[in-house]
Chain A
Amino acid sequence: MKQPSSHIKTLQIDGQDVGANQDETILEVARENGIYIPTLCEIEGLSPHGGCRLCLVEVKGVNKLLPACVTHVQEGMEVFTNSPRLQEYRRTILELIFSEGNHICAVCVVNGRCDLQALATKLGMTHVSVPYLYPRRSVDASHDRFALDRNRCILCTRCVRVCDEIEGAHTWDVSGRGVQAHVVTDLNTPWGDSDTCTSCGKCVNVCPTGALFEKGKAVAEMSKKRGFLPYLTQMREKRSK
């Protein structure tokens, strides 16, 4: 016998009544309804990571902040995406990201086209109030067409995920712990010597900053092409049906 069941949930985001499928995350539903939640490690078409903590939202009755990118909707949920407290936290997290690497926009290939820079502007981060750590980080320009500048890497792992989940090569991974963590190719061999890299360039295009870029691009010349990702995922979903 067919049991009655409900897959549709209704909830409130910032006072707005919205409907959602039970499989959807708060972030997906917010986007459908034109409600902006800042994200950085998240990118449509890749598995969620939950590492940047910018999409944290408040939910009434829950004393912890929840990441919108992985939290599923529930009936009657009351979500707040933009409280003064959240704005403050987000700005501090952005400041921490800027303080951690060596982000010098004026000489960066993606100046003016950078996700991190755009987010800082959008969230009103006017200055960095925590001391810069000025880490010593290495550059890998051994690949024919692309280069990696770890000074600009924010460890969002988009490159790791796109290479693993979409390209299927799993060339990228993270090595080390804490502030010493950094992305590596294969088993920490130079990118140019990698046996697994197919030189598809997907990592370069999903990278939110100028950490991964095409060689031969000067300051502010590099723009990232992202259209392929939702297209690929859509086509795969269609084929698997």
Chain B
Amino acid sequence: MMIEELHKIAAVERDEDNRFQHHIHVCMETACIASRSDHVKQALTEAAAGKPCRVKGVGCMGLCSAGPLVKVEPEGVLYQGVTPEDATEIVAKLGDSPVSRLECDTETPFFKRQTKIVLENSGLIDPERIENYIAADGYLALHTALNTMTPAEVIAQIAKSGLRGRGGAGFSTGLKWTTVAKSQGERKFVICNADEGDPGAFMDRSVLEGDPHAVLEGMAIAAYAVGASQGYVYVRAEYPLAVERLKLAIRQAKKLGLLGENICGTTFSFNVDIRLGAGAFVCGEETALIASIEGKRGQPRPRPPFPAEYGLWGYPTLINNVETYANVAPIIRKGADWFSAIGTEKSKGTKVFALTGQVVNTGLIEVPMGITLREIVFDIGGGIPEGRKFKAVQTGGPGGGCIPDEYLDMPVDYESLLKIGSFMGSGGMIVMDETSNMVEIAQYFMEFSKTESCGKCVPCRVGTAQMYELLDKVVKCEATMDDLLLLERLCDVVKNTSLCGLGQGAPNPVLSTLRYFRHEYLARIQEGNRETAFVSH
């Protein structure tokens, strides 16, 4: 694949698009398909037959709660809650005034306050057509990297951009790539961690379903930078559509010589295979993920040695998250300075969040780092429904914490969230209102950690089970103050002695709710005391 061929594919694709006066984009991701967007697309295609209008399946447009979403370009009219019966009307009104009863206002902060890098193509291109991705400057970055940059220059660009791991821990991506590049090994591997499992999180799924080539291109650039020739995408089997689109994307990229042997006419070769997760949350931990790919029981091992030195089958291995890879091509294409101009001093770029819970606009958002939680919840999210009061926002999944309203004006970046007892995590963001009970929330997350603990180390295996039982006692108003002390003691032990991030993070939902909502625990304990006092009289 030479640069001329790449440009030619893009030109042909654009010419084809220009033949049509109107383009109807229908969201074809899991959330919208669940509300029958596939039928909507079918109906629109039939209605548009013979008209100068093209119907296209695209990735997530963000406002998942209002699905199925349909967008008419170039007018930029967004329709929400579309049914197959609306198809003829939508097509008939093309170029005319839009169908007002279906119209969704795109001038709201939900659409205006976002900055899209990872999701730049999501909702615009057809994820099942590589030509569509190429027409949106796809694979240009790979071509540039392979033909005009040395591996060291690629790493330098990534390091300079300030990109940090989007899986949650926020390790410097440039530094990680350097360590893998410097590690000695006959072979090296690149792994994409798509084992997204936090409750309420669907960022990686959306990226894979909406723009799979962006992830593949990022992986190929990473492989070139660190000297790897084989890549794996470890994706959970619960994401069948993502797996299907990824498989298709790999096939298409291979056919065009953008993956496989001698990519872009250079000596660089890189193949990608898919490995399916079997439903264990802990396999999102990198050493457990590697064990799982190797066909072993998915459980973590102590680090060091880190995968960068001793990874898949003992070879140096680079593991990054889906969203991290999706940031790579834009950085190479637009430059490190462009990227580092977005965000805060220590956290650059954007972050994708799955905004869920008691908030008006639930869906997928991408915001610049440093935005405040208040802007996310009240501007983008549209606040709490039915005029109820905001109580807390939970970030970081089962290893994260609940943040109360007094910290709503804090900027969202890796350090700030850590400081207040939460965690960036992979991007799940659950909003809770006054009807939520925080002890029950803590118990819910503890149940998750308890069930997902692999059982290898004692504090996580037994500690989470014990903490769950204690929380259960509090919820049922059967706990005493001694139980609360024991709960705090166990939080300390499990946090500091567990082997991997699952156990080390498991106490966080309890610790953060104890820190900000202690009175709710105490109320339930006092309630219990009163009842016992009554019985003993």
Contact = CB atoms under 8 A, between A and B. Distances in A.
A50 B452 CA distance: 19
A4 interface: no
A72 B304 CA distance: 9
B159 interface: no
Given A177-B280, A179-B450, A99 B497 contact: no
A179 B486 contact: no
Interface in A71-92: 71-72, 89, 92
A52 B462 contact: no
A93 interface: yes
B457 interface: yes
Contacts of A34: none
Interface in B448-476: 450-459, 461-466, 469
A67 B499 CA distance: 9
24 contacts: A50-B302, A67-B302, A89-B497, A92-B489, A93-B458, A93-B459, A96-B458, A96-B466, A96-B493, A99-B466, A100-B458, A100-B461, A100-B462, A129-B486, A155-B455, A155-B456, A173-B297, A174-B455, A177-B453, A178-B461, A178-B465, A179-B450, A179-B453, A179-B461
B455 A89 contact: no
A81 B397 CA distance: 34
A53 B456 CA distance: 10
Contacts of B456: 49, 51, 155, 181
B455 A179 contact: yes
Tell me what chain B mostly uses at the interface: helix, strand, loop, or mixed. helix
A130 B486 contact: yes
Interface residues of A, number: 34
A174 B499 contact: no
B496 interface: yes
Given A92-B493, A173-B297, A178-B454, A99 B462 contact: yes
Contacts of B462: 96-97, 99-100, 133, 179
Nearest to B497: A53
A180 B499 contact: no
Contact of B455 (A52, A53, A92, A180): A180
Contacts of B463: 96
A67 B496 CA distance: 12
Given A50-B301, A53-B459, A92-B490, A178 B453 contact: yes
B457 A50 contact: yes
A180 B465 CA distance: 10
A178 B498 CA distance: 13
B455 A177 contact: yes
Interface in A181-198: 181
Contacts of B304: 72
Given A49-B456, A96-B459, 12 more contacts: A50-B302, A51-B499, A53-B457, A65-B496, A67-B302, A72-B304, A89-B497, A96-B466, A100-B458, A178-B454, A178-B465, A181-B456
Interface string A32-62: 0000000000000000111111001000000
Interface string B300-339: 0110100000000000000000000000000000000000
A129 B456 CA distance: 22
A70 interface: yes
B498 A53 contact: yes
Nearest to B280: A177
A131 interface: yes
Contacts of B301: 50
* Smallest CB-CB A-B distances: 9 pairs: A181-B455, A96-B462, A178-B453, A50-B302, A100-B462, A179-B465, A53-B497, A70-B302, A92-B493
Contacts of B461: 100, 155, 178-179, 181
Most chain B Cβ neighbours within 10 Å, of A48, A97, A177: A177
A176 B499 contact: no
Most buried by A among B280, B461, B462: B462
B457 A51 contact: yes
Of B280, B450, B458, B498, most buried by chain A (CB within 10 Å of CB) is B458
A51 B496 CA distance: 14
Contacts of A64: 496
A9 B499 CA distance: 26
Contact of A178 (B450, B469, B490, B493): B450
Contact of B458 (A48, A53, A65, A71): A53
B306 to A, nearest CB: 13
A192 B322 CA distance: 47
